Structure 1
Amino acid sequence: MRIGFIGTGSMGSLLIESFLRSGALQPRQITASSRTLARTERLSAKYPGLTAVSSNVQTVFQSDIIFLCVKPLEFPHVLSEIQEALNPDQIVVSITSPVQISHLEGILPCKVAKVVPSITHAVLSGASLCMYGQRILPEDRLLLEQLVSSVGTPVLIEEAHVRAASDISSCGPAFLAFILGLWADSAAELTGLHRATAVHLGAEMLLGTGRLLTEGGFSLEQLTQRVAVPGGVTAEGLSVLKQHLISVFPELIQATTRKHEHDLTTLDTSFSQLEERDD
């Protein structure tokens, strides 16, 4: 199996390195291209056997599965480059949430999937959101999910839910890191606890909490009840959170949804222009 990557920026390079670290892929199985050849050549130098090419079409010719790891507004240009080089047996995988499968299937002659990854794949953890086009066969899905499971947990979702799901799985690490930073700042300012110590404690707490919820058999409600003894310190803290956080997450979801809908509208226009040009 040969895997291609078009785009070797932050997430493209993270996926390549994670697949290699997990042992799911060997460098000789990977071909990569990007707008900046020097960036891809650095990956090739770091992982001997990985093929760095100057053309996205070359990546397509040398790959069975092609991951598109480019920014949303770059998709129309990249698709117009590669569409004639693809064949029906190949699989193109978009990792970009606002790019719709229907747009990709309307332009490309191959099989199409969407897999939205997370920065947590860098430590072979977290969830990958998986969505599949109409041409994907059961064996194609199995192949993709076996590959994705090497760096995290594949989770099947409906494309209509990708924004809310991405808020949690992909944006969530940034949101939680920000919250933990504020918490550590307050602990340092009000109690004298070293900020670095507070961050370390918080990181270990997040790791352990995740394992309790995924491996320990706890539900959210059970975990809350187990820690928050009535009349105790945790219960006092929870009362503050209930008072101030009720409106935060609806506002967060509304804000990310507005941005997502704006991106969808922009991409609809771009893809419509590309489809009209092809006709």
Structure 2
Amino acid sequence: MNVGFIGTGSMGTLLIEAFIASGALSPAEVAVSNRTYAKAQALADRYPGMRAEFKNAETACGSDIVFLCVKPHEFIHVVEDIKPVIRPEQIVVSITSPVLVSHLEGELDCKIAKIIPSITNKVWSGASLCIYGDTMEEKDKKRLESLFTHISEPLRIAESYTRVVSDLSSCGPAFMAFLLQKFIDAAVEETGIPRSEAVKVASNMLLGTGLLLTEGRMTPEEIQARVAVPGGITAKALQLLSRETEGVFNDLIRTTHDKYREDLIKVTTAFYGEEVNGQ
């Protein structure tokens, strides 16, 4: 299987590294291209056998699966690059949430999917969110999911839930890391504990909590109930957190959705020249 990656930024590189490290792909099966060729070549130099191509069309032409790992405003240009060489049996995968499956289906005569990865895939964990176009057959879906199973748990979702599920899966690690950072900062400031110790303890706590939620099959509510003794220290602190964070995550989701809609309008305008169906 030959797999092409157009775009070797943060997420494109993460996927390539994770697929190779997990054994899902060998370097010889991978071709890469980037707006700056030197960046693609630098990545290929780290993995003997990987091919760095000068043009996006060259990456697409020789690949069974083509991942588009570029920013929303760059999509129309990449699509124009690869459109002349794409074949109906190929699978083109967007990893960018504001680019709709319909955007790509309207321009490319091939099979279209959208898969939203997460930074957690770097350590072969977390989910990958799978959305499929009408021409994707079940065997095509299983082919992609077999690839992503090496680094994640592939989950099929409706495209209408792309943004909120991306908040939980892809943006979530940054949100949880921010809260953990604030927890650590406060511990250091209030008690003088060495930061390195606080980071180690808190990081292992977060890992263990994740395992309770996944392998332990506990719900967030169950964990709180098991830890918090009525009238105890944890219970009192949870009351504070509940009071002080009221509405915060509602505002967070509204903020990400507002930005998503803004980007979606820009992408739609780039593809069609105007907003379509009010999007």
Which range, TM-score by smaller chain? over 0.9
Structure 2 distance, partners of 1:244, 1:162, is 29
Provide the residue aligned with 1:132 in structure 2.
132
Alignment partner, residue 277 of structure 1 = none
Aligned counterpart, 1:114: 114
**Aligned partners of 1:74, 1:14: CA distance in 2, in Å?**
19
Per-residue CA deviation, residues 136-162 of structure 1 (Å, 9 max, x unaligned), is 000000000010111111111111111
1:174 — aligned with what?
A: 174
Residues 68-109 of structure 1, C-alpha deviations (whole Å, 9 max, x = no match)? 000000000110111121010000000000000011101100
Amino acid at match of 1:10: S
Q: Partner of 1:157 in structure 2?
A: 157
- Answering whether residue 42 of structure 2 is matched by residue 35 of structure 1, we say no
Distance 2:87 2:236 in 1: 61
Give the match for residue 70 of structure 2: 70
Query: 1:273, CA displacement in angstroms?
Result: 3.2
Measured in 1, the distance between the counterparts of 2:217 and 2:163 equals 28
State the partner residue of 1:265: 265
Aligned letter for 1:271?
A: F
Letter in 2 for 1:100: L
Which runs of 5 or more residues in structure 2 are unaligned? 275-279
Give the AA of the match of 2:255.
A
Aligned with 1:130: secondary structure?
strand
Alignment coverage as a number of residue pairs: 274
Letter in 1 for 2:111: K
The whole-number CA distance in structure 2 between the counterparts of 1:195 and 1:179 is 15
Moved over 6 A (4+): none
5 Å matches for 1:15-94?
15-94=15-94
Q: Can you list the C-alpha shifts for 1:173-199, whole angstroms capped at 9, x where unaligned?
A: 111111111111111111111222212
Range 197-206 or range 134-143, more displaced: 197-206
Letter of the 2:253 partner, please give it: I
Deviation (angstroms), 1:242? 0.7
d(CA) in 2 for partners of 1:174, 1:156: 23
SS of residue in 2 equivalent to 1:32: strand
Partner Cα separation in structure 2 for residue 198 and residue 185 of structure 1: 9
Structure 2 counterpart of 1:171, one-letter code: C
TM-score normalised to structure 2 length? 0.96
Q: Give the aligned partner of residue 10 of structure 1.
A: 10
In structure 2, distance between residues paired with 1:207 and 1:240: 24
**Distance in 2 separating the partners of 1:254 and 1:92:** 30
The unaligned stretches of length 5 or more in structure 1 are: 275-279
Distance in structure 2 (CA, Å) of the matches to 1:102 and 1:57: 21
